[in-house]
Structure 1
Amino acid sequence: MVTTSKGPVRGTTQYVDGKKKVDVFLGIPYAKPPLDNQGFTALARACLEYNNIMVKELVQKGAHLETIDNEGRRPIHLAASVNSYMCLEALLKGNALKNSQTSKGKTALFIASENGYIESTQVLLKYDVDPDICDITSKSPLEIAQIRYPDVGQLIRQYITGTSPAQNALKHGM
């Protein structure tokens, strides 16, 4: 269970009586979702396969958005890793933890930016992810993108400085 000075982090689980997992945010028993033969939940598999219709349906039916795979990735990370930006949108609308990190400290924004996925980067920034969260090597999404994909780096830089086209439109009431 992850806790902060304000209490448990939403969506995390804890052990009760040494056995039963409970969703801390909802306070209800949590059973681990079934996995396919490669160890993915239905939601994770749908994200990897760009199946945004299935992702939307699973989110609406209450699929657990924060299930972690064997490599420390959540569905939001998997969607970002394959530029499944429509799945990212569905996950974020369903309140997936937008700044969650993998076991290597990578956020979905970091993953999208290190792969040059401008569409996924745009969706994530639209939901106000934190562009300053670094991975375990202390690199930020902006640093990685500037080296590998300047267009993605420019998008992140504009977001940080408040000069992105979307932010300008909001400022001017458009």
Structure 2
Amino acid sequence: MTSAEPSTSSSLGPDWVLGDDGRRHRRAARVIVLDEAGRALLVRGHDADQPDRSWWFTVGGGIEPGESEAAAAVREAREEAGLELTEDDLEGPVMTRAGIFHFFAETCHQDEVFFVARVSDHEPSDAGWTAQERDVLDEMRWMSVAELREQRVEVFPTALPDVVEALGAGWDGVVRHLGTEHDDEVG
């Protein structure tokens, strides 16, 4: 295969579909999970084709065909963090963004909608991770706003520390639109 021919398979998973622009695309629902101390639950993953590059991100993933954004957020919280929520437990959507991800092997586009869930005493579990997720997800951790700001690896969205800080006092009902955000280009 030449570099001009886009691959029909991807290490990202089947929910990433090849778009007319040659980039893989998907819609995703994400959850900013906050505990009573105002810490956010984040997942650290890495690029399958460049394992030494990793980043922190919120719980969430692709929206399945026929699934609502809120239903996807609830499902992803259960699968990725072992968190049992209902749609009534979600606030929002509180934020949207279009993320452009420059993985080593390809560049992808993800349209994201973010909800907030407030929990107490939750120990995250990776029991629901698929084999594919186990290959690229490394850990989960509760982080304070200060810890988010001090991270040496990338955090997505980049505005997350400010968003978590603002949401700590409660959601004001305003949906924040972050626009398009590019990660650091790789390769």
- Which of the five TM-score ranges fits, normalised by the shorter chain? under 0.3
Higher relative contact order (CA 8 A, sep 6+): 2
Pair member with larger Rg: 1
Normalising by structure 2, we get a TM-score of: 0.22
Normalising by structure 1, we get a TM-score of: 0.23
Q: Counting strand residues as a fraction of each chain, which structure ranks higher?
A: 2
